[in-house]
Structure 1
Amino acid sequence: MAEDRKAIVPVWTLATGDVRAPALAGGEPMTAERLAELRGVLAVMADVPIATLEAHPLPDKLDRSRGIPLDAASPLAQHLSQFITQSTRSSLTAARATAMGENLYRMVVPAKVAAQFDKGFICSMAAKGTVGGIRGPLVTSTGRIAAGATFVPVGKAAAAGAAGGAGATAGVAAAGSAALTVAAPLVLMAVAVGVSAHADNKRQQAIEHITELLEQLHEQKLEEEHSALDGCRDAIDKATAILLDQGKLGVSLGLDSAVHAINTALGAADRRLARWQTALDKLPDDKPVEIGTLTKSFPGVDEHGGTFRAHLELAALAIALKRRVVVLQAVDHAQSDPGNPFENFTRALRRDQQRLDELESGIAGVLVRLSALELARQDGLMPVFTAGEVDRLMRAAHRIRRLGDGVTVNGRTTDVAIEIARNKDGSVVVFPALPMGA
């Protein structure tokens, strides 16, 4: 999409509860940089989670297949539609920007708030064939929309909150505070679907890699482990659809069996991680490591495929599936207490994700340590290297060094953006949550 330097982008400030905060924007037009500052200040000064919502023109080309589609009757679509309808009654800027009925809405959750639910959940997904590239429809990651846009705060918009919706708190924040719309259900559902879509994208990436690796390895046990995990998707997809329609999870969905299979795979990943860490601890610190010694504990680490890499991808798949289940459990927990859905949601996520964070961090640490190793050839009778040994050593060193590429250990939490494409009929597609500025 070409830059439109005259674009006017309405932006709403949303709270998940009654909150007092100074009126920082004052209704004056802002730049993208000024808006980022506003989000940070509000996050620091407010007592409840604060998010911003922008309405951009819908891009001509948008890969909707990567998002989660929801029809117009879904709670998120209804919350968004009601929010837009009420906002246009009191804001000419909002009315003009949303008149066509189709927009790309971007909800940005500040880093401080994102830290409440985001540890390993939200991270950049590298695009194939592009160094430093990021997958996703996040139009502002390239600045193509926001770079030339003028952001206009929309004040005192009527709040979103469908009757009977999860935590249908609605209204404008307490008098004397900034124009913060209390829209807990809208924020909760957008975050839940965006995080779920992100986790499913990670699952798809892992599936692609595992399929390729297993075609090379022909190992029955790994095939069975892969099949058991891949078979969980149907139950998780059904549970996601039901919860996002505010239904109740039942035993007939098969979610319990799926969770058992995922937990079994996570247990295997934990055991493998412990073995990898022990093997690395036994390696000498002051001299190169023979390739043969390394491959005993990390079979195939010096090859393009290999069992070790298959184990890595199986762990990534199990983690991605478990993260989707954790989101489902958190939404279910939040909807059981309509009074404070966002607080319950983030509390459930923090409690359940700790094990996943530790496992993912441990695997990242192993990859970083492996990538820093200095390799030596296998001991033999010949006092000099053969041409074949030199080639193998160089290939192995290159592949092992690349294990650390893109690995983030204890990364800094950034603002998280969730984009929602809204169609004229009110249906929406929610794209994977991604870090801002990636």
Structure 2
Amino acid sequence: MIDYRKATVPVWTLATGDVQVPALAGDGPMTAERLAELRGVLAALADQPIATLEAHPLPDGLDRGRGIPLDAASPLAQHLSQLITQSARGSSAAATATAAGEGLYRMVVPAKVAAQFAQGVVRPMATKGMAGGIRGPLVNSVTGRIVAGATFQPVGTAAAAGAVGGAGATAGVAVGGSVALTVAAPLVLMAVAVGVSASADHKRQKAVEHITELLEQLHDEKLDDERSELNGCRDAIDKATAVLLDHGRPGVSLGLDSAVHAINTALGAADDRLAKWRSALDKLPDGKAVEIATLTKAFPGVDEDGGTFRAHLELAALAIALKRRVVVLQAVEHAQSDPGNPFENFTRALKSAQRRLDELESGIAGVLQRLSALELARPQGLRPVFTNVEVDRLMRAANRIHRLADGVTADGPTPDVAIEIARDRDGSVVVFPALAA
């Protein structure tokens, strides 16, 4: 989304606690590579999570439908406005970049911190033609093209974006060559929470689209009921998200308890199906080709573009995406119940609650990889020769099965995570799905 052709980009360094680190950035402009190195060093040196925030011009034709909107009175919008206002008083770079009142703000959380909350939600985008490669920070996410590098100007003025407890706090240069970073725990917490929630909802949308297409072919009322019950949870989750992000407390009237029950039931069904799939694969003879008929008994429709097996995969993906949004809500609520250390409580709650989801997602990925590696045998029969139709069916089935692992992302190091926030002149914001930086 960001176009890096702009010559100079102001950048803030934010901390979620009152910490001091060696003065590493200096006052001069930095390259994107230098900024990435700085984030890594600060994350290693500081005992509190560190993030950076960049201010870019608002792109034309921005698709706001992918994000979660928050009005100007929301805590995230207020903390961002406070940071902008106070920074502009002492930094010409910040004042120039924020003078229009609107812009696209990009918060990047280092991999060390991101690993605490983004595993299974944000993965690096693989590059074509380069095994294990990921897209670097200077790629326009709309065109996919590499663009010219920008220079990043540190905002060195003291700025307050809300202290750990939510009250204003100042930060500035301390004696002895160390720097007290801007304390902005609520801003970082809210940006991460909404970005991760938007990312999970984006996955939900894709899963619903795939399931709907599959069920139109299958005409399976039972699976259709599963889909409808899961998708019906969205309203309660959306309302709870809005209430929590306005520092409220969701009540029983929102229906979140019923939604969580439906999601947990679907996750239980996904666990059962995963166990059956693993068992069926374990029963296959090692090193021998497998007939399609044998495979389709355990994985109905695996040799087709649609099929029950693929619908089960999408239902599991839908349940996981919805649960990840609920987990974020629970983590935010837990963090806000103890204003003294919201980010620590947030990451702790996320990490413990999403472990089961990561295991389920990883287990399904393992099944798909094992299936895609199978060798298919030609059907056994009395005839020594097969018709062209039978040969074509075998070839198509083999191709479909071997492509099952195409969408599987191998687990690897968690990348830096970027959350992009569009801010309008009235102070309202739209937070887009978190992505790999």
- Measure the CA separation in 1 of the matches of 2:367 and 2:144: 36
Are the counterparts in 2 of residues 68 and 431 from structure 1 also a CA contact under 8 Å?
Answer: yes
Cα 1:68/1:244, change in 2 over 3 Å? same
Unpaired segments ≥5 residues, structure 1: none
Which residue number in structure 2 is paired with residue 120 of structure 1?
120
The structure-2 alpha-carbon separation of the partners of 1:358 and 1:434, relative to structure 1 and needing over 3 Å to count, comes to: same
Query: Does residue 175 of the first structure (1) align with residue 174 of the second (2)?
Result: yes
- 1:347 matched to 2:354? The reply is no
Q: Separation in 2 of the partners of 1:352 and 1:173? A: 36
- Tell me the secondary structure at the aligned position of residue 27 of structure 2: coil
Q: Which residue of 2 aligns with 1:215?
A: 216
Q: Helix, strand or coil: the match of 2:421?
A: strand
**Equivalent in the alignment of 1:25:** 25
Cross-structure match for 2:328: 327
Once residues 195 and 2 of structure 2 are traced to their aligned partners in structure 1, the CA distance between those partners, rounded to angstroms, is 26
Matches within 5 A, 1:23-422: 23-123=23-123, 139=140, 147-161=148-162, 167-168=166-167, 170-172=169-171, 175-176=174-175, 177-422=178-423
CA gap 1:431/1:3 in 2 versus in 1, 3 angstroms:
closer
Q: Read off the aligned partner of 1:49 and give its amino acid letter.
A: P
Query: Contact 2:120 / 2:358 at 8 angstroms: preserved in 1?
Result: yes
* TM-score for the superposition, normalised by structure 2: 0.93
Conservation of the 8 A alpha-carbon contact between 1:169 and 1:184? no
What's the CA shift for 1:161? 1.4
- 2:435 is matched with 434
C-alpha change, 1:234 and 1:61, in structure 2 (3 Å) is same
Distance 2:162 2:124 in 1: 32
What SS does the aligned partner of 1:171 have? Answer: coil
Secondary structure at the aligned position of 1:190 is classed as helix
Shift of 1:141: 7.9
SS of 1:106's partner is strand
Deviations along 1:190-245, one digit per CA (max 9) or x if unpaired, are 00000000000000000000000000000111011111101100000000000010
CA deviation profile, 1:135-159 (whole Å, cap 9, x unmatched): xxx8468687973421001113311
RMSD (Å) for aligned C-alpha atoms: 2.2
**Structure 1 residues 233 and 124 mapped into 2: Cα distance closer, same or farther (>3 Å)?**
farther
Task: State the one-letter code of the partner of 1:94.
Answer: A
1:411 match: secondary structure: coil
CA drift of 1:378 comes to: 2.1
Post-superposition offset of 1:173? 6.5
Aligned residues: 427
TM-score normalized by the length of structure 1 = 0.93
Instruction: Indicate conservation of the 8 Å contact 1:20/1:174, yes or no.
Output: no
Local SS of the residue matching 2:12: strand
8 Å CA contact retained: 2:19, 2:180: no
Task: Please give the per-residue CA displacement for 1:349-381, whole angstroms capped at 9, x wherever unaligned.
Answer: 011000000000000000000000000122111
Cα offset, 1:45, TM superposition = 1.2
Q: 1:80, 1:292 → 2: CA distance?
A: 59
Q: What letter corresponds to residue 170 of structure 1 in structure 2?
A: A
Rate the CA distance shift 1:5–1:355 in 2: closer, same or farther, 3 A: closer
Classify the secondary structure of the residue corresponding to 1:262. helix
- Mind listing any 5+ residue stretches in structure 2 that lack a counterpart? 128-132
SS of the residue corresponding to residue 383 of structure 1 reads: coil
Deviates more, 1:186-195 or 1:172-181: 172-181
Q: Note if contact 1:68-1:193 (Cα within 8 Å) is conserved in structure 2.
A: yes
Structure 1 counterpart of 2:16, one-letter code: T
Name the SS for the 1:117 alignment partner: coil
Distance 1:3 1:202, change over 3 A: closer
TM-superposition CA deviations, 1:263-293 (whole Å, max 9, x none):
0000000000000000001111121000000
Give the C-alpha shift of residue 384 in structure 1. Answer: 2.2
- C-alpha change, 1:145 and 1:186, in structure 2 (3 Å) is farther
